């Protein structure tokens, strides 16, 4: 059924870059046979899933939305892909994304933008717009995303779906094409909080192949998502700096309604202040490009990556330069330039060093806020889905989409976006963001499920 729907709708949505019908059907047939034979099967056996094209899949092209990797076929699976296979989940295909996960609209994909199923003239969010559009349009019941500054939560918000960035280190990054290693986190995209929890438990857990992987029990997110809806005694903190100003009217109205809903369920809503959050954007857009510029240095067209050879007898450096010029898009080049600059001697202390100090202050804000509240909340995005093309020429406007999602990445804490109604003025979905202390991911699921 999903493959039929993909065939019908993917040409207009461009959610999938690659569909692996054969592989998915083979897994499904295996599961059917095992079930008929009375075998004990994992909980999600037979449930199809879409994978963002940032995760390496053995034998299946993996592009990260870039011409640079257009012909790259990984010789191994990312750990999360192995886990999906162990869970006997058919992998439907690979979903579209902004090139190397840089962006908030999927317009920076080298393979054309993905469209929002609510309105084909609008963006589905980014960088994981392929996964969010696939889930929202029933082209997949579940999908994988990666969130470096909001790329799971922001697409969920603008497509009316659920997206979770787990605690940093909770899900393995082995085999995930790196954007900014200290910020990147893999997580589930789904239509309900309970569905997200089921996928979360498949993905999470220690992996010796990832040195930042946490070696601790996975928080009980499925139990939390399917438990009591009574929130009596729960303290919900509205983060003043990212909840009150600069939001579209309908976004603010949905937010206030969600707060009322929380009070009706017995929660106590308090206001908290995280004074350094106002510097989160500035710190992120130094740290992220710095790490990205370093991670992307490996695409030299020598060991791998697409190669462009200038005429004559070019030196290795000239081949590298020509290849990177031809195969990287504008946004990727912008970040490489920014990151290389911020890391160069003489500027390091002024930019990268300062940004790291701000990062520590933001983590401190979270610690203080979580003494006053069990979960923190804000709208997920400043506006509903904007029109394709509207922000493409204005990087600053594009970056501002992540104002509410970025602090969680800088501090490593988990975050979730759940649907929270539609804005009156445009009828488009609005997201509600929940944040919890590190390794307390189950709190997001308990509160998210209660609000559903
Ligand atoms: N939009 C943010 C950026 O462009 C976040 C991207 C992400 O989370 N991968 O960096």
Active site residue 105: no
Q: To the nearest 10°, report the CA torsion of 27, 28, 31, 32.
A: -140
Query: What pLDDT is attached to residue 245?
Result: 85
Q: Which of 104, 105, 127, 378 is catalytic?
A: 127
Does pLDDT of 397 surpass 90? no
Higher pLDDT, 385 or 393: 385
Active site residue 151: yes
Ligand 1: centre distance to CA 147 (Å)? 7
Helix axes 193-203, 441-451, angle to 10 degrees: 160
From the CA of 401, give the closest atom in ligand 1.
Answer: 1
The pLDDT-based confidence of 52 (bands split at 50, 70, 90) is very high
Comparing CA positions, the residue from 237, 235, 236, 205 lying closest to residue 220 is: 205
Does pLDDT of 42 surpass 90? yes
Peptide bond into 447 cis (omega under 30): no
Does pLDDT of 400 surpass 90? no
From the CA of 146, give the closest atom in ligand 1.
Answer: 9
Ligand 1: centre distance to CA 114 (Å)? 16
Ligand 1: centre distance to CA 200 (Å)? 21
The pLDDT-based confidence of 188 (bands split at 50, 70, 90) is very high
Distance of alpha carbon 18 from alpha carbon 3, whole angstroms: 12
Report the DSSP beta bridge partners of residue 146: 186
Query: What pLDDT is attached to residue 431?
Result: 98
User: Residues 368-378: what's their mean pLDDT?
Assistant: 98
Query: What pLDDT is attached to residue 244?
Result: 83
Ligand 1: centre distance to CA 127 (Å)? 6
Distance of alpha carbon 388 from alpha carbon 357, whole angstroms: 36
The separation between CA 87 and the C-alpha centre of its own chain, rounded to angstroms, equals 22
User: Residues 286-299: what's their mean pLDDT?
Assistant: 96
Distance of alpha carbon 241 from alpha carbon 314, whole angstroms: 53
Probe target for ligand 1 pocket from 53, 95, 96, 102, with the most ligand atoms within 8 Å of CB: 102
- Quick: pLDDT tens for 254-279: 999 999 999 999 999 999 999 999 99
- Quick: pLDDT tens for 298-339: 999 998 789 999 999 999 999 999 999 999 999 999 999 999
Probe target for ligand 1 pocket from 55, 106, 108, 127, with the most ligand atoms within 8 Å of CB: 127
Distance of alpha carbon 95 from alpha carbon 61, whole angstroms: 11
User: Residues 145-167: what's their mean pLDDT?
Assistant: 98
- Quick: pLDDT tens for 203-215: 999 999 999 999 9
From the CA of 331, give the closest atom in ligand 1.
Answer: 4
User: Residues 25-40: what's their mean pLDDT?
Assistant: 98
Percentage of residues in the chain having pLDDT higher than 70: 100
Ligand 1: centre distance to CA 143 (Å)? 18
Active site residue 391: no
Q: Which of 151, 172, 290, 306 is catalytic?
A: 151
Which protein residues touch ligand 1 with a CB less than 6 Å away?
101-104, 127, 147-151, 179, 288, 402
Comparing CA positions, the residue from 141, 370, 325 lying closest to residue 234 is: 370
Ligand 1: centre distance to CA 148 (Å)? 5
- Quick: pLDDT tens for 340-357: 999 998 998 899 999 999
From the CA of 150, give the closest atom in ligand 1.
Answer: 8
CB 161, CB 135: distance < 8 Å:
yes
Does pLDDT of 250 surpass 90? yes
The pLDDT-based confidence of 237 (bands split at 50, 70, 90) is very high
- Quick: pLDDT tens for 19-30: 999 999 999 999
From the CA of 183, give the closest atom in ligand 1.
Answer: 8
Probe target for ligand 1 pocket from 64, 288, 412, with the most ligand atoms within 8 Å of CB: 288
User: Residues 238-261: what's their mean pLDDT?
Assistant: 95
Query: What pLDDT is attached to residue 1?
Result: 96
What is the assigned CATH class of domain 2-225?
A: alpha beta
Least confident piece of the model among 17-26, 138-147, 389-398:
389-398
């Amino acid at each position: 059924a999903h493959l039929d729907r993909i065939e019908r709708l993917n040409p207009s949505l461009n959610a999938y870059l690659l569909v692996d019908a054969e592989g998915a059907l083979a897994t499904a047939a295996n599961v059917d046979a095992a079930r008929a034979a009375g075998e004990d099967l994992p909980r999600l056996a037979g449930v199809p899933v879409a994978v963002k094209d940032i995760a390496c899949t053995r034998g299946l092209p993996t592009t990260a939305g870039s011409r640079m990797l257009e012909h790259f076929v990984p010789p191994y699976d990312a750990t999360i892909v192995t886990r999906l296979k162990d869970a006997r989940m058919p992998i439907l295909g690979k979903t579209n994304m902004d090139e190397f996960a840089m962006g908030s609209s999927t317009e920076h994909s080298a393979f054309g933008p993905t469209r929002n199923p609510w309105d084909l003239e609008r963006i589905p969010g980014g960088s994981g717009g392929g996964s969010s559009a696939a889930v929202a349009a029933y082209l997949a019941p579940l999908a994988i995303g990666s969130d470096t500054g909001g790329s799971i939560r922001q697409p969920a918000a603008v497509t009316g779906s659920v997206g979770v960035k787990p605690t940093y280190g909770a899900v393995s990054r082995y085999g995930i094409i790196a954007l900014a290693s200290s910020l990147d986190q893999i997580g589930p995209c789904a239509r309900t909080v309970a569905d997200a929890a089921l996928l979360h438990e498949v993905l999470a857990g220690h992996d010796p192949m990832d040195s930042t992987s946490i070696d601790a029990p996975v928080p009980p997110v499925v139990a939390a998502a399917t438990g009591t809806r009574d929130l009596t005694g729960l303290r919900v903190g509205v983060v003043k700096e990212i909840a009150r100003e600069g939001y579209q009217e309908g976004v603010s109205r949905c937010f206030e309604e969600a707060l009322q809903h929380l009070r009706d369920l017995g929660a106590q809503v308090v206001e908290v202040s995280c004074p350094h959050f106002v510097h989160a954007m500035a710190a992120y857009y130094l740290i992220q490009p710095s790490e990205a510029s370093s991670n992307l240095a490996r695409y030299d067209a020598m060991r791998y990556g697409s190669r462009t050879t200038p005429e004559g007898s070019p030196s290795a450096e000239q081949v590298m330069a020509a290849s990177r010029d031809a195969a990287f898009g504008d946004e990727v080049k912008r970040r490489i330039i920014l990151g290389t600059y911020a890391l160069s001697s003489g500027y390091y202390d002024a930019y990268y060093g300062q940004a790291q100090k701000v990062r520590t202050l933001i983590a401190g804000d979270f610690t203080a806020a979580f003494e006053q509240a069990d979960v923190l909340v804000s709208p997920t995005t400043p506006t509903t889905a904007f029109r394709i093309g509207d922000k493409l020429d204005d990087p600053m406007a594009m970056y501002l989409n992540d104002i509410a999602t970025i602090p969680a990445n800088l501090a490593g804490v988990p975050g979730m976006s759940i649907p929270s109604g539609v804005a009156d003025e445009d009828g488009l979905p609005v997201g509600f963001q929940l944040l919890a202390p590190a390794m307390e991911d189950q709190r997001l699921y308990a509160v998210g499920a209660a609000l559903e």
